[in-house]
A and B are shown apart, each in its own frame.
Chain A
């Protein structure tokens, strides 16, 4: 009987001690040198030595905080405007950026490193959001599963040949799903009619990317040879293939690609504005940029960055992606998705 109490008591005591230790160690660190916090989404990944080299150059330590997907990152950044959880936000894309630009959560900074960034990526004329990486959302096809030739245009998807072949994501719950809806709005003469025909052509829909890619798509043992995924997915299929392969099993329908650009910005209310600007510069440095492809399967925006051999050899990226302005997207998102629901799910 007594044992129960001793056990409960010691567990409580241990919990309190652990909690107390945690808070002490953090405050001691803060006193000695500048630590910047980079706030980003859950898909962020970079090699450990990248921020170590930033530390070696500047003496600034970078800590990464991740939370949820892009939408959740933007919502959280706006909610904590002026009293941010970190110093720099990274990973906001062009489908969500207008929402952040409409808030007071980020501050302008025109980094000199923009000199190496092509104009097509500079979507914020107020210089609050700096383009760091980009990638395309495109229809992928499983090469061996196609009976005929691979589709070459968006309009091919509504032809008889590809009946019951395509699987897409719900734009109301999935960010690639939203990007593909935007692709059809930008890339077909009448997007509503396109989706009506796609429905007749038996398009399958899931709520998330995982359920599509690992569900009805061939990769997960399904039967459909076409799926909405990323331009870099074939490279990932190659690198993480089991058994190893020489060529990716999938290809990309380049005519269907919608461009996503990811941005970084200095958070208003940071205690270290000048150090935060140094971090923005660093995100566009070759050290960081060269590290993006293999970690995040995105492409660097800086023209001085070099792609790893796997990307050079196997990735297909279009020079003429489909595109809509961030302001357009924000203004019409609700109408477009509601109309999509009526057409495709109604």
Chain B
């Protein structure tokens, strides 16, 4: 019943037209830079014959790959949620400086080159094996799952944490007053209302693990092929584009099913709450410390290995590897620091594009509960689930003729990054928007606000928290992006940080290796700095206008 009222109010204020306009811009952008290239490469490769499909389903190797891809992604998602949920609870309760540091720390793994993290984990597994007797996890599915949890920890901790902080905690307080135990309150009162954010974060984690490439190759067993590595193998190693396109179709199909299911779940459990009346219940200091320490150990261990190596020089420890980042060496077309500068510029541009597109998409998805909204939901999430090979080769054969001969333009790199980041923005913002109680908008409309004013003055400030989280993700994704970038033809002066790390590690020599580690540490530092800056900006704004809690009683 509440939904009916909601919808009528929207049409009364003429929101429908705004939604249509809002929907068109992102669809146009995603259409040109993502859907057109992907459809083009798949159809043109399959035009050579559909025989590939029967071959694929007859091959046990491919069936194994599909099965392995699916179960490892599901397991990675479950493990990530289990590990990161306590940290989300902690983040919901931590504000001020400690909160900002926590947010910066959990986001760092995102930008770390998989080859570096893979090496660090490998060493860690070996040390654990040698010292504590834990079975060596190298080249097992467990290693892949742990690495996925490491990379996606932030998605769950930050998305759910921010959502959790925004819930109305009066219900919990009442339940507690009535004598319910802590865990009872969580499972009966908090968990049902957290679900939309958990589904959103889970969907992102699943997609990320589903299409993961580097982690599978570096840490996985040799027979553990995934759909993504099979697409690469067929297209690049064998030059068999028809089979790789068939695999892409299977991948896209699976991703569409997944997104449809999660967004259905997300809608069904859609909880719009009143604005916060009561603050979140405090956590015991002991619990807080335990969660913080455990999270720190999990996220920090691979980082420590990396930092240690970056300072290691011939006669002990020193800053030589860092100083060398400023020098031009033959293995790189620009200095490592210039590559880092490129990465930061691309990341800023990609963040801007991803935020504009993602927020507009999210507004339209929440406003339109019809087929159009659902379509946009799928369209904005799909880029995360499509192989980098497919997108890269698609752009190569699609944006190749005037007036869109753009395949070698430098800005195609940040554009590709932005497309990968859009799903993160949408998934961070949609649950936040759904959290806003319709009465707030209705009240504003009654008082004579135009739909645009409502967007601006109610929706945007209220989802600012989600946008800040999303901006951090978008920046980190672009800064750490490797796959899609490497399949685009690039000019020498567009070298990015992760590309530079990879190149430094592909020639033997301790000096080059030290520089690769130093550059990885600087990349990690850059993303931490970006998260800290955006959080400081956000908290300053909040402090000035108190927009987070416009009505409280």
Contacts and interface: CB of A to CB of B under 8 A. Distances in A.
Contacts of A83: 400-401
A36 B397 CA distance: 20
A221 B119 CA distance: 11
A15 interface: yes
Nearest to B490: A66
Contacts of B508: 213, 219, 229, 233, 236-237, 240, 250
Contacts of A236: 507-509
Interface string B494-512: 0000010011011111111
A316 to B, nearest CB: 15
A189 interface: no
A231 to B, nearest CB: 12
A42 B352 CA distance: 28
Contacts of B355: 8, 11
Interface in B287-339: 313-315, 320, 330-333
Contacts of A345: 222-223
A170 to B, nearest CB: 6
Contacts of A5: 456, 460
A205 B222 contact: yes
A80 B396 CA distance: 7
Given A8-B355, A99-B239, A243-B315, 15 more contacts: A3-B541, A15-B352, A63-B491, A67-B487, A71-B239, A72-B487, A173-B217, A173-B229, A173-B237, A207-B217, A239-B509, A241-B509, A242-B514, A294-B330, A345-B223
Interface in A1-49: 1-5, 8, 11-12, 14-15, 18-19, 22-23, 26, 37, 39, 42-43, 45, 47
11 contacts: A45-B332, A68-B236, A69-B236, A71-B237, A75-B236, A79-B393, A79-B397, A85-B489, A211-B122, A240-B512, A334-B238
Contacts of A297: 507
Nearest to A78: B239
Interface string A77-100: 011100101100000000000010
B408 interface: yes
Contacts of A65: 408, 489-491
Contact of A1 (B223, B408, B461): B461
A15 B492 contact: no
Nearest to A344: B222
B509 A170 contact: no
Contacts of A18: 349, 411
Contacts of A281: none
B43 interface: no
B241 interface: yes
A23 B411 CA distance: 9
A75 B505 contact: no
* CB-based closest 4 A-B pairs: A240-B509, A243-B314, A11-B352, A71-B236
Listed residue (B217, B333, B409, B508) with the most chain A CB atoms within 10 angstroms of its CB: B508
Interface string B501-544: 01101111111111000000000000000000000000001000
B323 to A, nearest CB: 13
A45 B330 contact: yes
A26 B115 CA distance: 35
Contact of B489 (A76, A209, A213, A241): A76
B510 A241 contact: yes
Given A11-B352, A18-B349, A236-B508, A207 B222 contact: yes
Contact of A74 (B239, B407, B492, B512): B239
Nearest to B537: A7
Contacts of B115: 208, 210-211
A275 interface: no
Interface of B: 115, 118-119, 122-123, 217-218, 220, 222-223, 229, 232-233, 235-239, 241, 313-315, 320, 330-333, 349, 352-353, 355-356, 359, 393, 396-397, 400-401, 407-411, 456-457, 460-461, 464, 486-492, 499, 502-503, 505-514, 541, 545, 547
A22 B411 contact: yes
Contacts of B118: 211
Interface residues of A, number: 73
Nearest to B544: A3
A166 to B, nearest CB: 15
Interface string A191-229: 000000000000001111111011100011100000001
A233 B510 CA distance: 12
Given A43-B503, A43-B506, A333-B238, A242 B456 contact: no
A172 B233 contact: yes
B407 A85 contact: yes
Contacts of A64: 333, 491-492
Given A208-B218, A242-B313, A76 B393 contact: yes
A67 B489 contact: yes
Nearest to B44: A79
B217 A66 contact: no
Q: Which of B400, B408, B489 has the most CB of A within 10 A?
A: B489
Contacts of A63: 491-492
Nearest to A333: B238
A295 interface: yes
Contacts of B503: 42-43
Residue with the highest number of chain B CB atoms closer than 10 Å, among A78, A209, A240: A240
